[in-house]
Amino acid sequence: MAVVADPADQLGIVRGAVAALIAVLAVIGLTSLVTTSLLGYRDQLRDVSVLRAMGLTPLQVRTALMTRTTALALIAVGIGTVVGRLFSATLISAVSRLYGLGAGIGIPPSAWTLAATVALAVGAAAVAGILPFRSAGRLPAVTVLGP
């Protein structure tokens, strides 16, 4: 009886290409987050000033802003992780069947990989979201809230 090679063993270069694509998409996502934070800086400067006028210290202002960014990132990454986990194996198997590689090569990532990726994404979003506001917490509230 002849041994049939597993089609998944022949996909080493494809896995490398997919990993590179994921890295590029992560950089694009972080760049978009930083750009959005920078563009929203002027709009949110008033919020920062109101927090300062309420008596928050610069550290408390930065903490509040990072908490807001982190909460939004956690929600987005959570939804993306659930949807990606549900559909990734099915979509990969459908595409591999279409190209004649056979079904069943779409293996979902391990729980450890997902947890590490979620932690990395949320941490990077928190850092990227707070960067524009590093010095904003030190501005006197009167400067921004004035006439």
**Tens digit of pLDDT for each residue in 17-32?**
778 888 898 889 878 8
Cα dihedral 32, 30, 115, 73 in deg (nearest 10) = -40
Token pair of 67 as six digits: 């908490």
Contact 137, 52 (CB under 8 A): yes
Cα-Cα-Cα-Cα dihedral sign, residues 80, 29, 123, 56 = negative
- Long-range CB pairs of 110-114, under 8 A, 24+ apart, other chains included: 114/81, 114/85
Question: How do the domains of the chain map onto residue ranges?
Answer: 46-142
**Tens digit of pLDDT for each residue in 27-57?**
898 788 778 777 777 777 777 778 778 888 8
Cα gap 36→30, rounded to integer Å = 10
pTM tops 0.85: no
Contact 114, 16 (CB under 8 A): no
